[in-house]
């Protein structure tokens, strides 16, 4: 029994070490970029405080169509892809633009909601876009349509294997000892200290890393997303056809079943959809984001955040035909089951936002510890290699020594 357990432990250690060496650098890059984005909204709000607000005045705010018309009349910024509005008349409106023919996207703009005066482009936007592309797709060409997301998905699976194998390897004889589980022995030196830090810190962050990996797989593999939807959604919702994704780059748009003739697309009016949304939501929202169809479709998606919610919080989602003003579908957070709420907040769970800023801080600190595991894991592996080489050398020296027999 002891020999079998020893063999299993040796095999697990080998698996843990090989996967760790192969993926440590990749996981560190993903973790540190995640750290950088943990408080992205707060950082950008601080950098752009001067252009995100306007002087409050009694003048009425412009409708979405009026905003876009006045903005485009002053300068051709290209096709608008999204408009973010709030009920606060002193808050600026954020307008995003679609990708151009070369695949690049112009910087978004903050504009005055009363007269569409351009307040400026947000600082830090391009930096965080690059960080996000590195985090999700490793800057591999094609972004979400390339191989980058599969590579990060494989890394997430590898992390899960390391977490499970590491837990089994360090399971103490006295499993109930809190000190054994959670207190590193800082009095050790060399290999002992490295092992203590690696094991104890790994215990601290195990659950956080497991949540990060499981939710990260949602963005890497379609089969994983489909399985999660089947597991957590009501049967009636699983049977519904999934909404098609917007193309990631210019030239990739394909005809959708719900698209209408180009003449209808040209007559697309945000005000109709906005009126329908206001009739549905009334004053039950603080922020709304209108996302225009990428191709020739006429259905606009409107995400709505409630009065007491941040952008990390729960949201309602509506799809409204901008030509007719008819409600195509509504997805109300309060009507969802627990499983459906989990599905709608995968990103918030992934970065700890579901627990508010303390959760994001906890997940940020855990991600920031990833370089510690890369360094201590590499040192432990090299130490084992040196120890094994010394042991083999000693065995060979003893084997080569002549055996002296004492005669009597």
Q: Over the chain, what HEC string results?
A: CHHHHHHHHHHHHHHHHHHHHHHHHHHHHHHHHHHHHCCHHHHHHHHCCCCCECCCCCCCCCCHHHHHHHHHHHCCCCCEEEEEEECCCCECEEEEECCCCCCCCCCCEEECCCCCCEEECCCCHHHHHHHHHHHHHCCCCCHHHCCHHHHHHHHHHHHHHHHHHHHHHCCCCCCCCHHHHHCCCCCCCCHHHHHHHHHHHHHHHHHHHHHHHHHHHHHCCHHHHHHHHHHHCCHHHHCCCCCCCCCCCCCCCCCCCCCCCHHHHHCCCHHHHHHHHHHHHCCCCCEEEEECCCCCCCEEEEEEECCCCCCCCCEEEEEEECCCCCEEEEECHHHCCHHHHHHHCHHHHHCCHHHHHHHHHHHHHHHHCHHHHHHHHHHHHHHHHHHHHHHHHHHHHHHHCCCCCCCC
Does 246 score more than 50 pLDDT? no
Q: What is the pLDDT of residue 252?
A: 41
Q: What is the pLDDT of residue 69?
A: 93
At 265, the pLDDT band (50, 70, 90 cuts) reads very low
For 106-124, the three-class secondary structure string (H helix, E strand, C coil) is CCCEEECCCCCCEEECCCC
Report if residue 321 sits inside a domain: no
Specify the pLDDT at position 308.
64
Q: Is the residue at 313 inside a domain?
A: no
Predicted local distance difference test score (pLDDT) of residue 242: 46
Name which of 135, 124, 161 is nearest 45 in CA terms.
Answer: 124
Looking up tokens 């697990």, which residue turns up? 12
Domain end marker among 94, 122, 150 = 122
* Distance from C-alpha of 308 to C-alpha of 20, rounded to nearest angstrom: 42
Does residue 42 sit in the same domain as residue 127? yes
Q: 148 pLDDT band (50/70/90 cuts)? A: very high
Q: Are residues 44 and 54 in the same domain?
A: no
Picking from 140, 159, 160, 161, the residue whose alpha carbon sits closest to that of residue 150 is: 140
User: How sure is the predictor about 66, in pLDDT bands with cuts at 50, 70 and 90?
Assistant: very high
Closest CA to 137 of 219, 225, 215, 214: 219
75 shares its domain with 209:
no
Residue 137 has pLDDT above 60, yes or no: yes
Lowest-confidence segment of 20-29, 87-96, 305-314, 323-332 by average pLDDT: 305-314
- Whether residue 241 lies inside any domain: the answer is no
Examine the domain organization and report whether 171 and 220 are in the same domain: yes
Burial 335-351 (b: 16+ CB within 10 A, else e): ebeeebebbbbbebbbb
Judgement on whether residues 67 and 198 belong to the same structural domain of the protein: no
One domain for residues 30 and 132: yes
108 and 205 part of one domain: no
Average of per-residue pLDDT across 118-144: 94
**Does some domain include residue 324?**
no
In a domain, 130, yes or no: yes
Q: Does residue 9 form part of some domain?
A: yes
Structural domain of 215: 1-48+123-233+342-408
> CB of 35 within 8 A of CB of 368?
yes
Same domain as 59, residue 186: no
**pLDDT tens digit string along 181-234?**
778 888 888 888 999 999 999 999 999 999 999 999 999 999 999 999 999 998
In a domain, 322, yes or no: no
Together in a domain, 371 and 228: yes
> Looking at the domain assignment, is residue 238 inside a domain?
no
Lowest mean pLDDT among 204-213, 309-318, 394-403: 394-403
**In angstroms, rounded to a whole number, what is the distance separating the alpha carbons of residues 36 and 51?**
23
Dihedral over alpha carbons 130, 305, 286, 288 (to 10 degrees): 60
Name the domain boundary from 122, 145, 161: 122
Distance CA 317, CA 234 (A): 18
State whether 85 and 206 are in the same domain: no
Average pLDDT, the chain: 85
- In this prediction, residues 274-301 reach a mean pLDDT of 89
Domain count, the chain: 2
**Quick one: pLDDT at residue 181?**
75
Kindly report, residue by residue over 154-188, the tens digit of the pLDDT.
999 999 999 999 998 887 665 556 667 778 888 88
**Mean per-residue pLDDT for 389-406?**
62
199 and 110 in a common domain? no
Query: Are 115 and 145 in the same domain?
Result: no
Last residue of a domain, one of 122, 156, 187: 122
Residue 219 CA: distances (Å) to CA of 149, 222, 226: 7, 8, 11
* Pairwise CA distance, residues 298 & 295, whole Å: 9
What distance in Å separates the CA atoms of residue 208 and residue 364, rounded to the nearest whole number? 10
What does the pLDDT read at residue 240?
Answer: 54
Residue 244: the pLDDT is: 42
Q: pLDDT per residue over 18-62, tens digit each?
A: 999 999 999 999 999 999 999 999 999 999 999 999 988 888 899
């Amino acid at each position: 029994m002891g020999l079998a357990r020893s063999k299993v432990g040796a095999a697990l250690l080998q698996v843990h070490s090989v996967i760790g060496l192969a993926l440590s650098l990749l996981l560190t890059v993903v973790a540190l970029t995640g750290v950088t984005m943990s408080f992205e909204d707060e950082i950008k709000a601080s950098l752009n405080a001067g252009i995100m607000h306007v002087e409050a005045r009694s003048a009425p705010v412009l409708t979405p169509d009026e905003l876009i018309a006045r903005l485009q009349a002053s300068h051709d910024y290209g096709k608008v892809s999204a408009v973010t509005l709030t009920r606060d008349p002193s808050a600026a409106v954020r307008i995003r633009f679609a990708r151009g023919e070369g695949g690049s996207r112009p910087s978004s703009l903050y504009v005055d909601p009363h007269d569409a005066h351009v307040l400026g482009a947000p600082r830090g936007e391009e930096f965080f876009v690059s960080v996000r592309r590195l985090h999700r797709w490793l800057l591999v060409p094609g972004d979400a349509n390339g191989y980058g997301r599969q590579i990060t998905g494989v890394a997430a699976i590898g992390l899960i294997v390391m977490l499970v194998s590491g837990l089994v390897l360090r399971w103490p004889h006295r499993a109930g000892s809190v000190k054994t589980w959670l207190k590193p022995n800082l009095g050790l030196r060399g290999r002992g200290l490295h092992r203590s830090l690696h094991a104890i810190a790994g215990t601290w962050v195990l659950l956080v890393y497991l949540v990060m990996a499981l939710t990260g797989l949602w963005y890497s593999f379609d089969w994983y997303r489909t399985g999660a939807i089947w597991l957590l959604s009501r049967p009636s919702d699983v049977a519904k056809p999934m909404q098609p994704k917007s193309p990631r780059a210019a030239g990739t748009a394909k005809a959708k079943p719900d698209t209408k003739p180009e003449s209808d697309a040209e007559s697309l009016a945000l005000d109709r959809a906005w009126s329908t949304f206001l009739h549905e939501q009334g004053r039950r929202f603080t922020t709304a984001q209108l996302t225009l169809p990428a191709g020739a479709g006429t259905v606009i998606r409107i995400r709505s955040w409630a009065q007491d919610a941040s952008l990390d919080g729960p949201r309602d989602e509506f799809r409204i035909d901008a030509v007719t003003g008819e409600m195509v579908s509504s997805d109300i957070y309060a009507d969802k089951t627990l499983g459906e709420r989990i599905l709608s907040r995968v990103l918030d769970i992934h970065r700890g936002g579901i627990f508010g800023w303390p959760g994001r801080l906890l997940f940020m600190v855990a991600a920031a510890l990833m370089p510690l595991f890369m360094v201590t894991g590499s040192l432990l592996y090299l130490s084992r290699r040196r120890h094994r080489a010394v042991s083999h050398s000693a065995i060979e020296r003893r084997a080569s020594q002549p055996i002296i027999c004492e005669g009597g």
